[in-house]
Amino acid sequence: MLKRILCFAMVGIFISSTVAMAGESEKINAALTAAKKWLAIVDGGKYSDSWKESSEYFRQAVSQEQWEQAVQGVRKPLGKVLSRKKMSATYTTSLPGAPDGEYVVIQFATSFANKKSGVETITPMMDKDGVWRVSGYYIK
């Protein structure tokens, strides 16, 4: 009888963790879609539009003018994106220096015309209206 109860408990734990992983997977996919859409705007040089499409948290932290100057200073010298491949995507509810919430930290291996090997880190977050929007962007 004890073995049967333990077996059911293990099955319950397995099902719960599988459901949780499926939920995270859906969130990661939605965040990845939002990130790619946002990156296409940046790739097109539409920096003011990328600011407008960013999360509320991002827009409160950086003015549109500051963002346009910063991203132009970083992206323009790199040239056109030649390739971009997802390296990783991790769901989390906590990031250093940011409010608790739902985030997906995504890293892309990106090749630019003037920088063959770069790593872009982009962090979409679930905004207050339930839409995934970019809250952070970094190129290394």
Judge whether residue 10 has pLDDT over 50: no
- Residue-level pLDDT at 97: 87
CATH for 7: 3.10.450.100
Judge whether residue 23 has pLDDT over 50: yes
Residue that wins the pLDDT comparison between 6 and 111: 111
Host domain of residue 59: 2-139
Distance CA(21)–CA(25), nearest Å, equals 6
Are 105 and 123 in contact, with CB atoms under 8 Å apart? yes
Count of domains for the chain: 1
Distance CA(133)–CA(125), nearest Å, equals 6
Express each pLDDT in 54-84 by its tens digit. Answer: 999 999 999 999 999 999 999 999 999 999 9
96-117 burial: b if 16+ Cβ within 10 Å, else e: eeeeebbbbbbbbebebeeeee
For the entire predicted model, the pTM comes to 0.82
What phi and psi values does residue 13 have, to the nearest 5 degrees?
Answer: -65, -45
